[in-house]
A = this chain, B = another copy of it.
Amino acid sequence: MGSATIKDVAKHAGVSATTVSHVINKSRFVSPGTKARVVEAMRELNYQPNAVARSLRMKTSNTIGLIISDISNPFFTDLVRGVEDVANSKGKNLILCNTDEKTEKEETYLRILRQKQVDGIIMAPTGGPLEFLRQLVEVGFPMVFIDRLPDGIQVPTVTVNNEKASCDAVRHLTSLGHVRIGVVTGMTGISSTVERMKGYERALSENGIEMDERLIVEGWSRVEGGYDAAMRLLSLKPRPTAIFATNNLMTIGVMRALRDCGLGCPEDISVVGFDDFAWASAFHPYLTTVAQPVYELGATAANLLFKRMKARRISGNSARVVLEARLIVRESTAVPPSET
């Protein structure tokens, strides 16, 4: 049984569809009497306005798209919540899309979201080459990038101060006397990886520590990658006295590797991880981490997007907002290396 339409309500109330529409949207005066009849008719017919028809007419879907790599990643989890809260407060809904870092999925989702007439898109770009994306930006489609900078596309972006935060993390290790500091790097080709490595390098050079290529291992931003990378690092002789894992998943991989090697943290080796965990202060080791303001990242991006949506044709202006990630020092790494 097809639901009641605005015409059904009109007929039932003995008025025109126009009047019903105005009652629904409070868009012009309707006498108390007729208004009451309309309201009553809507109730009796259990009327629900058809938002699709409305969208077609109004050219706004009250929906925004959010494209991330994987909602299972705790990092995105809080970010998504930030976006949804802001969106909800503005009466917009969220279509969630997972790319798994696949450029192909990214393009498909972009295309679908566009076809669904979403009012705007927030995305963490994979970094792959993307003609369609470039076109969208060029026609002024409201879009905000998050967590990473796109390659050569001018668009508003929200990130954290990756370099500075990484630098702080590594400085923390050097200040404890560490010199041989291994680093597990993220996916190549995304800006956050590059920036975090810059911070690592800067901290070392500040302290007059020579770079050792063998201490830099790729972890592909994933748990398994972090595990493998740590295994490589741990097999070095002499092995590093500390490891800097440049994201949350890789940090877990590193810790698993330590366990499998029978190594204790921080007794045998110190670890600092980028990204904090809600449970970090309740489970051992109480890891020192770089905490990103993840929720704010999402909320900020959403607010920025809404600004763009209002001023559709003010293109060209591509702000970059940088939020502050900060080091949280916990007891576990406050231990000097057993060897030097």
Chain A positions within 8 Å of B, measured between CB atoms, are: 1, 46, 48-53, 55-56, 61, 63, 70-72, 74, 77-78, 80-81, 84-85, 88, 93-98, 111-112, 114-117, 135, 139, 223, 252, 255-256, 258-259, 277-279, 281-285
Contacts and interface: CB of A to CB of B under 8 A. Distances in A.
B255 A115 contact: no
Contacts of A258: 282
Given A84-B96, A283-B284, A49 B255 contact: no
B84 A80 contact: no
A18 to B, nearest CB: 20
Nearest to A287: B283
Pick the 8 closest A-B CB pairs, nearest first: A284-B284, A255-B282, A283-B283, A51-B115, A51-B116, A256-B282, A96-B96, A72-B81
A159 B48 CA distance: 31
Contacts of A281: 256, 259
Contacts of A115: 48-51
A255 B283 contact: yes
A1 B139 contact: yes
Nearest to A49: B115
Interface centre among A72, A114, A283, A284 (most CB of B within 10 A): A283
A256 B277 CA distance: 13
A139 B61 CA distance: 26
Nearest to A61: B52
When all copies of this chain in the complex are counted, the total is: 2
A93 B97 contact: yes
Contacts of A96: 80, 84, 94-96
A152 to B, nearest CB: 21
21 contacts: A51-B112, A51-B115, A52-B52, A52-B116, A53-B56, A71-B77, A74-B74, A80-B96, A84-B97, A84-B98, A88-B98, A93-B95, A93-B116, A94-B96, A95-B95, A95-B96, A223-B278, A256-B282, A259-B281, A259-B282, A283-B283
Contacts of A49: 115
Given A1-B139, A71-B80, A93-B97, A117 B283 contact: no
A47 to B, nearest CB: 10
Nearest to A87: B96
A85 B98 CA distance: 8
Nearest to A1: B139
A313 B81 CA distance: 35
Nearest to A66: B96
Given A117-B50, A117-B52, A72 B78 contact: yes
Contacts of A85: 98
Given A48-B114, A70-B81, A111-B48, A279 B282 contact: no
Interface centre among A95, A282, A285 (most CB of B within 10 A): A282
